Amino acid sequence: MPTMEPTHPPEQFNLSIKTPAGPVTTTVEISTGFVPVTQIVPLMRKLGEQAESLEQQRAVASGQKISCAKGCAACCRMLVPVSAPEAFALRDMVAALSENRRQVIRRALADTTARLEQAGLLSQLRHVAETDRAITDDAMEPINRAYYALKLPCPYLENEACSIYEDRPAACRELLVTSPADWCQDMVNKPIRALPVPLRVSTILGMLWSDLTGSPPRLIPLPLALDWADRHAAENRASWKARDLLDKALDTIWRFLSQQPAR
């Protein structure tokens, strides 16, 4: 189970989490007041990236080569799931942009929505975002395949590069492959070899949100995340004592890890 060792000053903590890829550690400063759930998102992404880096080091040490590189954006045509906290964080990030940048993103999202509706996928994706029942991987598989078949670029992709790279979803950070890069252009006929994900942060944040709100765990399709966050803005006005939120997040990580099969 993750451990939390208090240091000085009182609101600073050393975190240590044992993952399948190895231990990840970091120091975090915690507010003494109340904060929204979006405040935990950067920390969770940082922990996930550290765990993924350990996984990458293990792969390289065993003779494997990571194929992913800047400009290789085939994975940016896949359906990316985001948790509710990430959707709210994305909304906050876009709101802080200049008016011109916001307009560019809104136009790209509108174009994507129109193409999804034309393809008959929009209603299915909206159901995924709003359902009060957990959706199994098997149920999502045909939706994922249909989405990928469109070769629809992510609305945040510009010139084959992520325009929100520093704020990109956890799922985007977690996909690293060791199969040849050109296989990613045809993932149906050439299944990629992806590195294991020690901490699947979008899932963990989804579990955390479910615990905090009593709502069902859900993952929101990225093209709908901004609209979802706009329509659910009232839910993001809730706040929690920062220390309690961190404790709940660490407990959620432990529950996630305890449910994973041994390697």
Alpha-carbon dihedral of residues 243, 248, 254, 257, nearest 10 degrees? -120
For 17-53, how does the pLDDT look when each residue is reduced to its tens digit (9 = 90+)?
Answer: 999 999 999 998 888 889 999 999 999 999 999 999 9
263 domain-assigned? no
Average confidence (pLDDT) over 212-239: 93
**Residue 189 vs residue 113, higher pLDDT:** 113
How many CA atoms within 13 Å lie on the side-chain side of 130?
A: 11
Q: Model confidence at 7, in pLDDT bands (50, 70, 90)?
A: very low
| pLDDT band with cut points at 50, 70 and 90 for residue 263 | low
199 contacts 253 by C-beta, under 8 angstroms: yes
Residue 213, domain member (yes or no)? yes
Q: Is residue 239 part of a domain?
A: yes
- Domain assignment of residue 97, yes or no: yes
Output the six-digit token pair for 154: 């992510």
Name the average pLDDT for the chain. Answer: 90
159-198 pLDDT, tens digit each = 888 999 999 999 999 988 888 888 877 777 778 888 899 9
Is residue 189, in this structure, part of any structural domain at all?
yes
Per-residue pLDDT reduced to its tens digit, 85-102? 999 999 999 999 999 999
Q: What is the mean pLDDT of residues 71-84?
A: 89
- Those residues whose C-beta lies under 8 Å from the C-beta of residue 86, and which sit 6 or more positions away, are 41, 169, 170, 202, 205, 225
In the prediction, which pLDDT does 193 show? Answer: 86
The pTM (predicted TM-score) of the whole model is 0.91
Confidence of residue 71 (pLDDT cuts 50, 70, 90): confident
Predicted local distance difference test score (pLDDT) of residue 134: 79
Query: Inter-axis angle of helices 137-149 and 122-130, to 10 degrees?
Result: 140
Q: What is the pLDDT of residue 122?
A: 97
202 in any annotated domain = yes
Is the separation of the CB atoms in 133 and 114 below 8 Å? Answer: no
> Which helix (H) or strand (E) covers residue 161, if one does?
strand 161-162
> If pLDDT is split at 50, 70 and 90, which confidence band does 2 have?
low
The pLDDT confidence band at residue 9, using thresholds 50, 70 and 90, is: low
The residues pairing with 4 across neighbouring beta strands, listed in sequence order, are: 15
Q: What is the pLDDT of residue 163?
A: 93
Whether 148 maps to a domain, the answer reads yes
Q: 154 is in which domain, residue-wise?
A: 3-258
Specify the number of domains making up the chain: 1
Whole-number Cα distances in Å, 161 to 11, 37, 182, 220: 38, 28, 17, 22
pLDDT in tens, 114-129: 999 999 999 999 999 9
Q: In the predicted model, what is the mean pLDDT of residues 190-214?
A: 92
The per-residue pLDDT for 8 is 44
